[in-house]
Amino acid sequence: MFLRPDKAEKLAFATLKVCMASVIIFVSVLLIHIIVNGYSVLSIDFITQMPMKRMTEGGIYPAIVGTVSLIGLSMALAVPLGILSAIYLNEYSRPGRASWVIEMAINNLAGTPSVVFGLFGLALFVKYFGFGPSILSASLTLALLILPVIIRASKEALMTVPQEYREASLALGITKWQTTRKVILPAAIPGIMTGIVLSIGRVAGETAPILLTGAAYFLPRIPDSVFSQFMALPYHLFVLATSGTSISQTRPLQYGTALVLLSIVFMMNGIAVVIRNHYRKKLNR
């Protein structure tokens, strides 16, 4: 059957619109479902109290503390490493074997499933280095997982710095490192920040790696050192939703935890948008 070209176009475009709309509807349903059900649970008590009565009541304070410590520690490791690597790759390296090997390693790490990172963290940090299941082991694992993401984002940001900046600075007799530090890096910082902020959201939500490297089902107290086990938001949600003793009774707690987790991710996305817009305005001035 042959349709006239204009009819075919109408039909095709309508189909494309339906596809796009169904993606949007699915995401909207997911978000609205969790926001509506989670909103009624949210309260100051929910985020500042310990879980009570075998996690069927009370709050999620220790899980928030755990997730925040994971973010802090893994970012402290991955951000400097990531930015310096990106500087090397974009400003210093010449095409050759060394940069090829590094790029290949980054691509491979970026494509490795998070659960494999979990196994790696378990074998290297928990077992071989003897850090045990702990905040330290989990943070090191997450840092390696997020490193390629930060390198790529930083490199992208460095690439957008106009070549004239480098040439003008070098023409003034300024060394390459000073040029990089005083001219290129400041110009690339907004882009780099955007990448970092987005990877914070990613670290907050990762579950499989921490499941293997130290996340605890339940702890009655806040961890006191980096060698302690810890509770974390995504793992807490998983535990409540799948293996608790009273899954349907704790449903509101599950929605609440999911919403807190989503809020962290959205906050980070929001901050990224703000940084981007702020920077764009500055550029246009």
Partner 1 sequence: MSRRNNKEKAIEVALLMTSGVTVVALFLLCIFLFREGALLFGDHSLVSFITGTSWYPSSSPAKFGLLPLLAGSLIVTAGAVILSVPLGIAAAIYMAEIADPKVAQLLKPFVEILAGIPSVVYGFFGLIVVVPLLQDLLSLPTGQTALAGSIMLGMMALPTIISVAEDAITSVPSSLKEGSFALGSTHWQTIYRVILPAALSGISAAVMLGIGRAIGETMTVMMVTGNTAIIPGIPEGLFDPVRTMTATIALEMGEVPQGSEHFHALFAVGAVLFITTFIINLIADSVKKKYRLQEEA
> Burial, 281: exposed, middle or buried (Cβ in 10 Å; 0-12, 13-18, 19+)?
exposed
Residues in 172-191 that interact with partner 1 by CB under 8 A: 175-177
* Interacting span for partner 1 (CB under 8 A) from 46-54, 182-190, 200-208, 220-228: 200-208
Tokens of 18: 């339906």
Q: Does 194 bind partner 1 (CB under 8 A)?
A: no
Q: Hey, CA dihedral for 194, 196, 200, 201, is it positive or negative?
A: positive
- CA atoms within a 13 Å half-sphere pointing along the CA-CB vector of 96: 5
User: Cβ distance 214 to 135 under 8 Å?
Assistant: yes
Tokens of 266: 């959205």
Give the one residue of 50, 112, 227, 252 binding partner 1; rule: CB under 8 A.
Answer: 112
Q: How far apart are CA 32 and CA 19, in angstroms?
A: 20
Q: Hey, CA dihedral for 272, 273, 276, 282, is it positive or negative?
A: negative
Q: Of 50 and 265, which has the nearer Cβ to partner 1?
A: 265
- CA atoms within a 13 Å half-sphere pointing along the CA-CB vector of 120: 14
Q: Does 207 bind partner 1 (CB under 8 A)?
A: yes
Q: Does 32 bind partner 1 (CB under 8 A)?
A: no
* Interacting span for partner 1 (CB under 8 A) from 42-50, 57-65, 121-129, 159-167: 121-129
The distance of closest approach from Cβ of residue 209 to partner 1 in the complex, given in angstroms and rounded to an integer, is 9
> Burial, 227: exposed, middle or buried (Cβ in 10 Å; 0-12, 13-18, 19+)?
middle
Q: Does 149 bind partner 1 (CB under 8 A)?
A: no
Residue with tokens 């935890």: 257
* Interacting span for partner 1 (CB under 8 A) from 46-54, 56-64, 141-149, 185-193: 141-149
Q: Does 122 bind partner 1 (CB under 8 A)?
A: yes
Q: Does 246 bind partner 1 (CB under 8 A)?
A: no
DSSP of 223-238? --STTS-B--HHHHHH
Give the one residue of 36, 84, 159, 274 binding partner 1; rule: CB under 8 A.
Answer: 84
Give the one residue of 74, 134, 169, 254 binding partner 1; rule: CB under 8 A.
Answer: 254
The distance of closest approach from Cβ of residue 83 to partner 1 in the complex, given in angstroms and rounded to an integer, is 9
Give the one residue of 70, 193, 211, 275 binding partner 1; rule: CB under 8 A.
Answer: 211
The distance of closest approach from Cβ of residue 106 to partner 1 in the complex, given in angstroms and rounded to an integer, is 5
Give the one residue of 70, 75, 135, 144 binding partner 1; rule: CB under 8 A.
Answer: 144
Give the one residue of 63, 183, 261, 275 binding partner 1; rule: CB under 8 A.
Answer: 261
Q: Does 242 bind partner 1 (CB under 8 A)?
A: yes
Residue 174, classed as helix, strand or coil, is coil
Q: Does 9 bind partner 1 (CB under 8 A)?
A: yes
Alpha-carbon distances of 113 from 55, 119, 145, 206, rounded to whole Å? 30, 10, 9, 11
Q: Of 173 and 224, which has the nearer Cβ to partner 1?
A: 173
